[in-house]
């Protein structure tokens, strides 16, 4: 397995590592955004320091949106879990920024070889009414 540590978000992603996971790794590693997103001290999780600035400035560099909620939906989709802090939900004192932490057992600093183990949860089923382009009709119209 190969992981690309390219400096810009246009790096390739390889077949064993989903695009999201590859981008996330690059994102957390990137020194230029370490003030907004970085590894935790022990390297077993990552921190987003200022959710609002992060979503508006960093997310669109890697994804087609700037919504923290979409980012979190993807994290959950890949099995990441929020690390809940004792003071979450409490009002912040002045100048204190919020801090969000997420964790996945196979997403750890200096352990890129584990990334291939992170997989997306598959949607269980979908249905139903298929709009047929004229059931007996031709599939091509001139």
Partner DNA sequence: AGCGTTCTAGAATATTCGTTA
Partner DNA sequence: CTAACGAATATTCTAGAACGC
List contacts with DNA (CB under 7 A): 18-20, 63-65, 67, 69-70, 72-74, 76-77, 79, 81-82, 84, 88-89, 119-128, 133, 138-142
Beta carbon of residue 56, minimum distance to a copy of itself (angstroms, whole number): 8
Taking CB under 8 A as the criterion, which residues in 54-93 touch a copy of itself? 56, 60-62, 64-67, 69, 79, 81, 83-87, 89-91
Residues 26 and 11: beta-carbon distance below 8 Å: yes
Length of the chain: 142
Contacting a copy of itself (CB under 8 A), which of 52, 57, 111, 113? Answer: 52
Question: Within 13 Å, how many C-alpha atoms sit on residue 4's CB side?
Answer: 17
Return d(Cα 102, Cα 136) in angstroms, integer. Answer: 52
Beta carbon of residue 23, minimum distance to a copy of itself (angstroms, whole number): 6
- The secondary structure of 94-132 as a DSSP string is TTPPP-EEEE-TT--TT-GGGGGG--PPPP---------
Would you tell me which residues interact with a copy of itself (CB under 8 A)?
A: 9-13, 15, 19, 22-23, 26, 52, 56, 60-62, 64-67, 69, 79, 81, 83-87, 89-91, 101, 103, 119-131, 133-142
């Amino acid at each position: 397995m190969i992981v690309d540590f390219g400096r810009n978000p246009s790096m390739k992603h390889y077949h064993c590592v989903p695009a999201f996971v590859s981008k996330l790794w690059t994102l957390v590693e990137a020194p230029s955004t370490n003030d907004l997103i970085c590894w935790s001290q022990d390297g077993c999780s990552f921190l987003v320091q200022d959710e609002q600035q992060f979503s508006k400035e960093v997310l669109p560099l890697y994804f087609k949106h700037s919504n923290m909620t979409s980012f979190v939906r993807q994290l959950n989709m890949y099995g990441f879990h929020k690390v809940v802090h004792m003071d979450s939900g409490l009002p912040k004192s002045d100048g204190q920024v919020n801090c969000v932490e997420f964790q996945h057992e196979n997403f750890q600093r200096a352990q890129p070889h584990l990334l291939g183990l992170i997989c997306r949860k598959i949607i269980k089923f979908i249905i139903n009414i298929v709009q047929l382009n004229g059931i007996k009709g031709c599939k091509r119209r001139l």
